[in-house]
Amino acid sequence: MTTFGLVAAGSGHGAVMSALHGVCFDQAGETPWDAQALTALLAMPGARAFIARATETPIGFVLARRAADEGEIITIGTLPAFRRRGVAAALLDRAIDSLVADGAARIYLEVAADNAAAVGFYRARGFTRCGARPAYYRRAGGAIDAQIMVLEIAAGKVKPSVPSDP
């Protein structure tokens, strides 16, 4: 079991989050986000981010935002050596709690359609498929569709929803 803690991140954490993003998404063949792009996202109104740390070493991150009554998980990642140890679940839960506390009635995210592990992870946390973006993720081997998923919130608590796909 990995012992880790979560800390709030701000616009000064763009470089750390960029380094994490580069390692977390390297295997998928996706282009990592640079520090400037992440710093700009962190500075947006409604943005919030958290970094998971084992001792002082960053091992994962989540970036989310809220606009009106909707939340969005923009990106989330855990270093490969720390996957399947509860890090992503803790990060996602913290982001969801923060968005709900701020008034989000539903939370969206996008996930590569071919990433069965991530799709299963989000479904287990209550997200359901609500749409798709064709050829959304650009990879060295070609483009991959994104599944759009939503988590419906009722009265400050997660509301079970009926899956829109089998």
What Å distances lie between residue 1 and 86, 109, 122, CA to CA?
A: 9, 28, 22
Q: Of 37 and 138, which is predicted with more confidence? A: 37
Phi, psi of 80 (to 5 degrees): -50, -40
- With cut-offs at 50, 70 and 90, classify the pLDDT of residue 6: very high
Task: State pLDDT tens for residues 89-103.
Answer: 999 999 999 999 999
At 86 the pLDDT is: 92
- The span from the CA of 33 to the CA of 131, in Å, is 24
Give the other-Cβ count within 10 Å of 104's Cβ. Answer: 24
The residue among 59 and 157 whose pLDDT is bigger is: 59
Residues in CB range of 142: below 8 A, 6 or more apart: none
Q: Is the pLDDT of residue 127 over 50?
A: yes
DSSP 70: E
